[in-house]
Structure 1
Amino acid sequence: MRPPLDGLLETAVYVDDMDAAHAFYQDILGLKRMVKGTRLFAYDAGPAQALLVFHRGHTGEDVETPGGTVPGHDTEGHGHFAFRIAADQIGAWRRYLQDRQVEIISEVAWPAGGTSLYFRDPDGNVLELAAPPLWPNFT
């Protein structure tokens, strides 16, 4: 029998400019940085959730830690992830992003009734603010 999963703990994005990424994720999105390293920043993205911001090109090698080896990983191109927000916050987020000159590149009204706002971080990664209902498990 397969053991259960408890959900996603981390999602990752890769950037070229760590300082610009930090300014965006902390100052624009209001995420608190929990870890600051040369190859990784980790942000509190909600209860038991972390956003990992990796320095592109600096994470391909394995990293030895006192507790074991962290396998190397990296990616090219632009990544994507979504933050969930309450349905009644779409308008507030739209105004907030516009006030901070963050271009909303797309807005999608989903068949299930939810809405998503799409925008980019300074490295071009596509971020989404998603309001329910969107997926059958996100109502």
Structure 2
Amino acid sequence: MGVGEPQGILEASVYAEDLEAARDFYEGLLGFDCQVYEPPRHAFFRVGRGMLLVFNPAETSKSDEVPAHGASGPVHVALTVAEGELEAWAERLGAAGVEVRWADWPGGRSLFFRDPAGNLLELAPPAIWGIE
């Protein structure tokens, strides 16, 4: 039996030292369900059919349970939303004091914003990549 192509992204990670601020942002503002909260190491959030993992790099870089990992500086994650919801998301984020920037792509547009740790998040319809 051959090896097939991976079918999607199961989880993505961002890094933040202040897990309480991350939880307030991802659970409180974005509405993600916090599945696991174990400060000071990590907080895991359900996002649709996948997971967003928020790790404290000071803790995960010294891990011996799984391969050590961490990032310095902001990372980027794009999250799927319906194109018709982008304006409402921009209003919701703006009302919470989050700066939103728009980008135009051949397949549509998306909006960018930062979490409290400075990670760059994007809300975009799959059409920006030609994905239905």
Q: Say whether the fold is shared (TM-score over 0.5).
A: yes
Correspondence for 2:79: 83
Aligned partner of 1:99 in structure 2 is 95
Partner residue of 2:112? 118
Q: Is residue 2:40 matched to residue 1:44?
A: no
Return the alpha-carbon distance in structure 2 between the equivalents of residues 97 and 132 of structure 1: 20
* Aligned partner of residue 118 in structure 1, secondary structure: strand
Residue 123 of structure 2 aligns with an amino acid whose one-letter code is L
Identity %: 38
Paired with 1:63 and 1:22, the residues of 2 have a C-alpha distance of 25
Residue 132 of structure 1, CA deviation: 4.0
* Number of aligned residue pairs: 130
TM-score by length of 2: 0.92
User: In the alignment, does 2:27 pair up with 1:33?
Assistant: no
Separation in 1, partners of 2:96, 2:104: 23
The answer for the alignment partner of 2:122 in structure 1 is 128
Describe the SS at the equivalent of 1:30: coil
Whether the 8 Å CA contact 2:57–2:69 is kept in 1: the answer is no
Q: Does 1:19 align with 2:14?
A: no
**In 2: Cα distance, 1:33 partner to 1:132 partner:** 24
Q: Pick which of 94-103 and 116-125 moved more.
A: 94-103
Large movers: runs of 4+ above 3 Å: none
Query: Partners in 2 of 1:118 and 1:94 — Cα distance?
Result: 9
CA offsets 1:94-119 (integer angstroms, 9 cap, x no match): 11111111111x2011112x111000
The TM-score, its normalising length taken from structure 1, stands at 0.87
- Point out the structure with the larger helix share: 2
Tell me the secondary structure at the aligned position of residue 60 of structure 2.
coil
**Which structure is higher in strand share?**
1
Structure 1 regions of 5+ residues with no counterpart? 65-69
With over 3 angstroms needed to count, the CA separation of the structure-2 counterparts of 1:13 and 1:101, relative to structure 1, is same
Give the aligned partner of residue 108 of structure 1. 103
Within 2, Cα distance between the matches of 1:6 and 1:107?
A: 29
